[in-house]
Amino acid sequence: MNYNKLLVIIEPESDHQPALEKAVQLAKFAGAELELMISDYNTYLDDGYYFEPVQAQKLRYEHGEQQMHQLETLAQPLRDGGLEVSVVTAWANPPYREIVERTRSTKPDLVIKSTRHHHKLSRLFLSNEDWELVRYCPAPLLLTKDKSWTAAPVFLAAVDPDHLHDKPAALDEKILQSAKSLAEISGGAVHLYHSSWVPPLSGVYPVMADPAEEQAKLNKFSVEHGVASENCHWSNVEIVQGMPEVVAEAGASVVVMGAISRSRLDRILIGNTAERVLDKLECDVLVVKPDNMPAMNTVLL
């Protein structure tokens, strides 16, 4: 996978931009061009909500000008340093829709956005922009935390060798290739993680996996894909508990995981592993999508 163009989502009026820091690092690794984007919305600037339409339009224009100034202020030092940087703003309700549309039209190789801890209610009602981008962003999505990457970063690929969790086999390949590509350009390493946990039968007894069998499956997968056996990890606990432990053990800078399309009912009953694990991790998370990306009204889980 190539990283020639990166779309970076900038937080309006914020002095700290973790997504931009990671994007600059990747751009220097890969020689990529950057596009900095602010997609914003403010109810008070809607026509007739607080101001008359003419005045609201004038204020939205001034608001956009301020955001362009912020973007240019961020972009110019990067241009002076030799990077190719463009800027764009958008006004949308909700803001994530313009990010998705921009991704569809310009086809960046990677979208990078900062993320922070969110209250459980924001996940339950799916009101947070991060969760919507996990579902609908057609390009790989790197959700970044404040923690810096190590000098030789570890990219932990979450795979499912036996596809017990109905993830398409081709998605495992994309997950692994994404991790390998990032490791190659950054001088890092690839590790594999597999959770063999399945829900308890009738909600009472957990299904225990055979350790030798699970290790053999993961080793076979690693050999086929050129990953060292000592870089393979598996656990028989739910991924939301098991993955943070492996991230700490491996010293991972990024977890690479997949998101697939399910029904809205599945979302309520099962929940979204990518979303539930996100707040549990101190490291960045790269969400990879299948090639047949669903339309906007389809839920990704």
**pLDDT per residue over 256-268, tens digit each?**
988 765 554 444 3
User: What are 99-133's pLDDT values in tens digits?
Assistant: 999 999 999 999 999 986 555 555 444 347 888 88
Q: What is the pLDDT of residue 199?
A: 62
Question: CB count, 10 Å around CB of 93?
Answer: 11
Q: What is the pLDDT of residue 270?
A: 41
Any idea where the domains of the chain sit in the sequence?
5-114, 154-288
Question: Cα separation of 208 and 237, whole Å?
Answer: 9
Q: What is the pLDDT of residue 71?
A: 96
Given pLDDT bands bounded at 50, 70 and 90, which one contains residue 208?
low
CATH code 3.40.50.12370 for 154-288: yes
- Segment 232-254 mean pLDDT: 89
User: What are 174-190's pLDDT values in tens digits?
Assistant: 999 999 999 999 999 99
Using CB atoms within 10 A of its CB, is residue 193 exposed (0-12), middle (13-18) or buried (19+)? Answer: buried
Q: What is the pLDDT of residue 207?
A: 61
Phi then psi dihedrals of residue 169, to 5 deg = -60, -40
Q: What is the pLDDT of residue 301?
A: 36
Given pLDDT bands bounded at 50, 70 and 90, which one contains residue 136?
confident
Instruction: Kindly report the pTM of this predicted structure.
Output: 0.85
**Residue of higher predicted confidence among 259 and 287:** 287
Exposure on the CB side of residue 286, measured as CA atoms within 13 A: 28
Using CB atoms within 10 A of its CB, is residue 203 exposed (0-12), middle (13-18) or buried (19+)? Answer: exposed
Tell how strand 252-258 and strand 154-158 pair up: parallel
**Residue of higher predicted confidence among 123 and 155:** 155
- Segment 157-161 mean pLDDT: 87
Q: What is the pLDDT of residue 2?
A: 86
- Matching fold, domains 5-114 and 154-288: yes
Find all residues with CB under 8 Å of 76, minimum gap 6, and list them: none
Q: What is the pLDDT of residue 300?
A: 38
Six-digit token string for 9: 């989502």
CATH code 3.40.50.2000 for 5-114: no
Question: CB count, 10 Å around CB of 72?
Answer: 13
User: What are 38-77's pLDDT values in tens digits?
Assistant: 998 877 667 655 667 777 778 777 878 899 999 999 999 9
In contact, 135 and 259? CB cutoff 8 Å = yes
% residues pLDDT > 70 (the chain): 78
Q: Letter for the amino acid at 192?
A: L
- Segment 125-152 mean pLDDT: 83
DSSP 94: S
In contact, 301 and 261? CB cutoff 8 Å = yes
Given pLDDT bands bounded at 50, 70 and 90, which one contains residue 33?
very high
Alpha helices per DSSP H over the chain? 18-30, 53-80, 95-106, 120-124, 129-136, 169-186, 211-224, 239-250, 264-270, 273-278
| Number of continuous H segments (helices) and E segments (strands) in the chain | 10, 10
Indicate the average pLDDT of the chain.
Answer: 81
- Segment 193-215 mean pLDDT: 68
Exposure on the CB side of residue 255, measured as CA atoms within 13 A: 33
Six-digit token string for 60: 């939205």
% residues pLDDT > 90 (the chain): 42
